[in-house]
Structure 1
Amino acid sequence: MMYGEVSRDVGARLLRDINLFIFNVSVILTSFYFGRVVFLDKFNNVLPVIGALQISVLLMLFLREFLLSEEILNYKRSIYFWITTGLLLYYLGTLPLTVFFSFMKVGGSFVLVYKVQNALTILMHICFIIGGLWSWNKDK
């Protein structure tokens, strides 16, 4: 929802609303199709994949708008840039892992995926910290 507050492009806001509608419809349809089994017994990999794709599209739209604006001259001090970069790295990195997550057996490959996801989470938080520190210096 942060993107809706920052974006000035009408087409991008329309795409955001369409993405939100598609995600809500996919939640409802997945709930009816898979029923109770998905939420209690096994991992539902449809919704996280759809959500990650939609978030990635919105983040790329924000970066496109950011690159075309005058704010790009001072990107290091923009907290929006660092948050977007961190989230984009995380979601694009975990998207392939999420697709194949339900097909993996518990064991060596599962532990490797867990370590990769932890590394991506740490990278995302490092971007958040860098953005917070750089933008904090701007106010002084």
Structure 2
Amino acid sequence: MFEFLRFYTFYLALFSGIIGLISMHKLPSNRAKFLVILIWFSVVIEKVGYYFTEWTGLLNYYVFNFYMLVTFSAYILLLRSLLSKVNHRIIAILCFVLFIVSFFLNILYFKKDVNHSFTYSFAIGVLLIMILSCLYLVEIFNSDKILNFKRSVFFWYILGILVFHVPFLPFMLALNWFLIKHDESIFSLVVFILNVLAHSCYIIGFLWSEKKYNY
């Protein structure tokens, strides 16, 4: 019944990407502009992933595993750039190394056929992002940034990442461990709802943020 919904995530990403371009004047730093690039990267991946099987005859796990590698690496490096304490930045570098190692260990595990979803790398990536996001929020709440944190596009972008990945992780693991039945309709509905929440955060960030807080 809801199988078609997952394919509309492309339009959600496209819409938030357009809002990002319109709001570019409020994104003065390269780091802020990078958020828009990440959203447009997801637009391209959604379209390539949709046609990949038709083009190649292969399942599109190749596309989305590559997407996971790029985006999770980008999220970790983004969070590192937002952290101000030296020990927190060191933790971020260690998280980045751990994620890269876990990803390539996943490739070795599936060396005979890498066209699988790298579930454990995804799980590790989400946990690392949660840890770094908590450090980021702690730094905000212990500084004068607490007064205007809602005016920062970075806060809303990090919130969007968490809103999608934190609920999706247990759902994905439950499917992988056969704790719940894989129903394409339910899967599409969950993915669509989480994408609505995530892109709503991105759009609020672009529209509500102020230039002086986006450096």
What are the superposed Cα offsets for residues 76-119 of structure 1, whole Å, 9 maximum, x if unpaired? 21111111111111111111122123336543xx4213211211
CA 1:32–1:138 in structure 2 vs 1: closer, same or farther (change >3 Å)? closer
Q: Which amino acid aligns with 1:68?
A: N
Tell me the equivalent position of 2:43. none
Matched, 1:49 2:120: no
Q: Which amino acid aligns with 2:204?
A: I
Tell me the equivalent position of 2:78. 2
Number of aligned residues: 135
Larger fraction in helix: 1
What is the rounded CA distance, in whole Å, between the counterparts of 2:124 and 2:175 in structure 1? 14
Tell me the equivalent position of 1:26. 102
What are the superposed Cα offsets for residues 11-67 of structure 1, whole Å, 9 maximum, x if unpaired? 111111111111111122222122132x22x43311111111111211121111111
Tell me the equivalent position of 1:131. 205
CA 1:67–1:35 in structure 2 vs 1: closer, same or farther (change >3 Å)? same
Contact 1:83 1:127 in 2 (8 A): yes
CA 1:24–1:138 in structure 2 vs 1: closer, same or farther (change >3 Å)? closer
Contact 1:63 1:84 in 2 (8 A): no
Moved over 4 A (4+): 136-139
Contact 1:4 1:13 in 2 (8 A): yes
What is the rounded CA distance, in whole Å, between the counterparts of 2:150 and 2:105 in structure 1? 42
- Structure 1: tracts of 5 or more residues without a match: none
TM-score, length of structure 1 as denominator length: 0.84
What is the rounded CA distance, in whole Å, between the counterparts of 1:111 and 1:44 in structure 2? 22
Q: Which amino acid aligns with 2:109?
A: Y
C-alpha RMSD over aligned residues: 2.0
Contact 1:45 1:101 in 2 (8 A): no
TM-score, length of structure 2 as denominator length: 0.57
- Classify the secondary structure of the residue corresponding to 1:36: coil
Q: Which amino acid aligns with 2:136?
A: F
Tell me the equivalent position of 1:73. 147
Tell me the equivalent position of 2:112. 36
Tell me the equivalent position of 2:87. 11
Q: Quote the offset at 1:125 in angstroms.
A: 0.6
Q: Which amino acid aligns with 2:131?
A: V
